[in-house]
Structure 1
């Protein structure tokens, strides 16, 4: 079409000639032309309505504000209001003033639960059968929320709401995470007009890879007290101020998804110290205390039995004094992080009350997207080390005791604490066949509507029920079509019927569960589920199709401890058939249990063109791991730099950070390459030129070459090899984002730019 536009040359000429003719007629007979015109004021709105400006959608009269909260890896019984050890005054306040739901089920993992919450559909039905990092080319596992499943953000925006998303987004496909998008799979593509947070499973609280809408931003390096949970709420309050100040009568939808307490577990030291000594009793005793409190509070039946911890978890009284001291401190870190996040959330509640919006705000707060995590049997001070095949020793972790929870650790607590925080239910995150993986605490508050505050709701509910509940509360019907795309049915069932009736029969009577081959089917109090014949803290190589099934009558066995499959084989068969029917309907098959195997990038598209070299220039753009050339045994980086003097220093190209990554830089004029696969000195390798570079233009190259006894890592300067080392293997799954001519995201002390001039940097593999 070119620059001639839609009219083309002929059309443009015709339009111009018409205008000339009209002007000529007016000059020839001005009186007659004027007689056909009448001077009038430009039109204004009548009763607030314009005739030709596009109409903005309006929410129903009196529609409530919506605030949805979903925390991360918390566990059913972490908070005091569910019998746990962590006082969360603001969450507990909502539980006292609102409704407390004891049977809210999730999918047992984060991306799937979040997709289900945002769409009201089952996770496989919207392509999120597992987390986005292990997606595969199958309908239920692409990690792409289809256009046929418009999110809460889109539906509410189209119904007159201002929409904001704050915190963790783990539903964008790996290959769309780069600076070129596509952004239709980011929060702004899901109907959220504002996003501030991160795109990943978890984030460093002290040095997060921040995003504002689609823009990469850095934390203030000069703010010595910076921490993400506070920064996140600062942005929520800023957005709320803009929203309320601009249109105080317009309702808002805020989705608040902090990364707390997903690893890394980090918090301000003073908040960690608040819990000093409170977990010295150990996880066995903590589980018993929680269980007793839950019975006393009426959260669980008096007949409930406490499930036993897996035999892999050592009994607390068998540990050494050093082990007890270390593990107790790790739990203090997690508790401090959870309490600090709650304090920040309280600032949001206070602001809503201050501006008079709290009473007409429907708050749905899900305390966790799955059960507490069971990642590290003995805990860790760097969760990335496992991807390098490294298991941290207790001696290493004890050496970092005084740093636990701080900027120089990136860890998780031991499995024993996770199991205790899932009390009264067995197992935890990733185990969809056991209640400890499925169940999370939920509270609902809406002072203008809910009058039965401080009471329990025991009806079976699921995370897919949240969206239809919100639609009913507002008084809207989910659209049948969005942008010309027919919408698939909402799978969830509104639980608004429970707001006024604690004893109402549950309407959500059947539900399937599946995660990494672990599966179950619930029906009217019965639960058929596969056994747990693997360990979530180890690589799962089991064949899910061969895993035996069990049967539980939850009406009599609240905590899923008595397998009655041999007594009721017909019921087990019935529920297995129900699962198969759901599997066909929602794209659950094929099953796969190999989480670590599916991390291999060959199973999904990438954000960079394959089979080509890639050349970058310095900028503030960041490149997530799957949108950047992946390290292989033949990976190479070639950089051109121009040095002004022998003391030049600064970054040339980097990826990741102190816990896992690599960095090519100048250090006082000396070219240097650090390969840091695990964050530990034992695996870290440093190549360095023995000679500082003189002024002028130079080429530095680093790369890997396969050898008979390993992989050769070498560095050349201007074509001459200056250093080399043989390593046992290359870790392709290095964590973090790449930058050119800028420091790593967690580097605040080094220079922001290189004193040299960084030219093109080319990567091949």
Structure 2
């Protein structure tokens, strides 16, 4: 079979591997949730929906991801190892080296493509993070957008994170504004859209199976959730992260999700003891953790709405439902102190404790962009070592999985301890649906799937493990699993810094560790000195697997950068017109760290014109030129929670043609300040200084837009705020 088509037509009535109607499939993938976060797996955060699903299905306590976002998603959707797909690193660090290009390879077709060609309806809601930035604009190409990767429907965001109150959204391939409803929150919106899609399919094509992929982006930073959810956790975390890990391990043992002899691994020296923090630092850290906890429980509750809709439709029993609790371990990217606006801290601009305390009660609301301290991230990966990004250790790669399928799994509340990996999900789906993986798609010969179907575990908790070998690599951190053993090499650096982390040391200088995971669940006892022969064989196996994946010689994607395609590279002058929206900051004019100027030519039809003329970034940091509701030109420049400049013209613009000039004169240096002047129709309208600017970027997911804002607003205006009662003729930007 070359096309991957199973018997049966558009109605999808072919039988599955169990002899029944092919199952519907739902995959839920949470973001940045460690193994020890959810109550279902012993964590401190209530997850009643996950609890209920685990009671109706199976819990997997040795399930693994890749330790970072984009590779996990590529592996999940294709059934291949991440480097084999071309996405061996997060898209933000993509480079031209084999396996790290950040471009999905056609020889690794997605499971959505295969299912759609076999009669399934397909939809993706939420975070994608698999489209290269230079392809993420309205000029395409759209091959690596969700709708080019097998999904009939897409509603969500393309980047690694987004503001939960004012997200950067796309429907299909079109930028769209978020719904204008009171109390908007992205996770609620995404699940609502998924439920609507499910109900429409049930009404119009009840006999056709579906594949629904829901990746809400929660609980990735920014940690934003309605206050009632975080208030529930007030005072719960006052004893700190060291005690929290101890309490979590005890709960894990009582629940049986870790063996009774599991040891707690020690705190890394780079993370301070809780008792060593000052009172102000503790107050900020507690509040950040309370918000995170509320964010996770809120997310779980929204997943419950989808489960309810499935049961209400009568399709739940025939639905294979994967609930993957995290695409990697908990994120320590908030740094040691955590942050009220973590994009600044991530670039080396820490906040003072006093400034954080001033905003304490606002944390989690729309005026903050927070991330919790690294200590909480470490605590929430209990009992393992390390966190997100660190693929050498289980704190980065071990995540909970709950799987239900009432029509296909008889065990209720069972625990499965076979080694498993995110690349196992696609082959599991295909086996359950009775579909052979295609050998060719659109004329492209396919590479075999690396994953192993989990169906062999459904009826037998003691079934012999079939996924016996698996390598891991992110930023040079690497490990190899084989038959219960794991060899691990940490490549240095800290998972809460951006740019050169000081980890560009030779790979041969890394120290390898060795663990017998059959006896040592948490990687607590290093056997490298006692088993040198075993370690040599494991290291040789890693080299063999790395060669198969095409990533030798090894390179650290944090420092081994190459020039990737970019729509703005080599240009100093740019001209934009209305419709130029949703342009990734990385492919827009690079205004950070230099002088630059902007000229906007607009026509006002009548007094009272208002709206965005041009903007880059969002609420966390960025700049905006707009007309306020009085028709006055306004320029705002915001640098995280550290500085904000605002220049406003004296009068509203009358009907006719107008020219607005903005000039930014940079002081020079890293994160330096500058002087901004605003000129309206040739007449100076204001000048001021801003003391600090971003060292590298305004944001990860916010965009550059003409005529409206597609994400969160930089200025004090409503979401979107389209230019109204006039026309933008052109916007010219010149870089010095």
Question: TM-score when scaled to structure 2?
Answer: 0.91
The one of 698, 703, 719 aligned to 1:734:
698
Q: Post-superposition shift, 1:134?
A: 1.1
**1:382-461 map, 5 Å:** 382-386=341-345, 389-461=348-420
Q: Which runs of 5+ in 2 are unaligned?
A: 1-7, 16-20
Q: Post-superposition shift, 1:691?
A: 7.1
Paired residue for 1:759? 729
The one of 554, 572, 591 aligned to 2:517:
554
Contact 1:275 1:335 in 2 (8 A): yes
SS in 2 for 1:514: strand
Question: Is 1:749 the equivalent of 2:718?
Answer: yes
Query: CA–CA distance in 2 between the matches of 1:732 and 1:440?
Result: 32
Paired residue for 1:563? 526
Paired residue for 1:603? 563
Please, which moves more after superposition, 747-756 or 204-213?
A: 747-756
CA deviations over 1:615-663 (Å, ceiling 9, x no partner): 2223483322134222252533221123467865432211122211101
Paired residue for 2:618? 657
SS in 2 for 1:589: coil
SS in 2 for 1:364: strand
Query: CA–CA distance in 2 between the matches of 1:199 and 1:191?
Result: 16
Seen in structure 2, the aligned counterparts of structure 1 residues 644 and 389 have a Cα distance that, compared at 3 Å, is farther
Question: Is 1:118 the equivalent of 2:77?
Answer: yes
CA deviations over 1:170-211 (Å, ceiling 9, x no partner): 111111111122111000001100011111111211111111
Q: Post-superposition shift, 1:720?
A: 6.0
Paired residue for 1:109? 68
Q: Post-superposition shift, 1:162?
A: 0.5
CA deviations over 1:491-522 (Å, ceiling 9, x no partner): 11112101011111111111111000100111
Paired residue for 2:636? 674
Q: Which runs of 5+ in 1 are unaligned?
A: 1-53
Q: Post-superposition shift, 1:55?
A: 6.4
Paired residue for 1:17? none
Seen in structure 2, the aligned counterparts of structure 1 residues 148 and 356 have a Cα distance that, compared at 3 Å, is same
SS in 1 for 2:125: strand
CA deviations over 1:306-327 (Å, ceiling 9, x no partner): 1111233232233333333322
SS in 2 for 1:468: helix
Q: Post-superposition shift, 1:528?
A: 1.1
Contact 1:129 1:588 in 2 (8 A): no
Paired residue for 2:432? 473
Please, which moves more after superposition, 104-113 or 732-741?
A: 732-741
Paired residue for 1:21? none
Question: Is 1:642 the equivalent of 2:611?
Answer: no
Query: CA–CA distance in 1 between the matches of 2:350 and 2:692?
Result: 16
Question: Is 1:697 the equivalent of 2:657?
Answer: yes
Contact 1:630 1:732 in 2 (8 A): no
Contact 1:631 1:732 in 2 (8 A): no
SS in 1 for 2:575: strand
Q: Post-superposition shift, 1:456?
A: 0.7
The one of 273, 278, 298 aligned to 1:340:
298
Paired residue for 2:99? 140
Seen in structure 2, the aligned counterparts of structure 1 residues 452 and 670 have a Cα distance that, compared at 3 Å, is closer
CA deviations over 1:202-259 (Å, ceiling 9, x no partner): 12111111111112111233x2211111111110111011111111111111111111
Query: CA–CA distance in 1 between the matches of 2:406 and 2:166?
Result: 38
Question: Is 1:492 the equivalent of 2:461?
Answer: no
CA deviations over 1:675-705 (Å, ceiling 9, x no partner): 22x322x433344556776654332222445
Contact 1:267 1:337 in 2 (8 A): yes
Question: TM-score when scaled to structure 1?
Answer: 0.88
Question: Is 1:284 the equivalent of 2:242?
Answer: yes
CA RMSD of aligned residues (A): 2.4
The one of 190, 195, 202 aligned to 1:244:
202
Q: Post-superposition shift, 1:752?
A: 3.6
Query: CA–CA distance in 2 between the matches of 1:100 and 1:120?
Result: 20
CA deviations over 1:405-437 (Å, ceiling 9, x no partner): 111111111111111110111111000011110
Question: Is 1:60 the equivalent of 2:10?
Answer: no
Paired residue for 1:264? 222
SS in 2 for 1:520: strand
Paired residue for 1:168? 127
SS in 2 for 1:179: coil
Q: Post-superposition shift, 1:298?
A: 1.8
Q: Post-superposition shift, 1:753?
A: 2.3
Query: CA–CA distance in 2 between the matches of 1:96 and 1:185?
Result: 37
Seen in structure 2, the aligned counterparts of structure 1 residues 151 and 100 have a Cα distance that, compared at 3 Å, is same
Contact 1:128 1:145 in 2 (8 A): yes
Contact 2:164 2:187 in 1 (8 A): yes
Please, which moves more after superposition, 62-71 or 294-303?
A: 294-303
Contact 1:177 1:626 in 2 (8 A): no
Q: How many residues align?
A: 706
SS in 2 for 1:184: coil
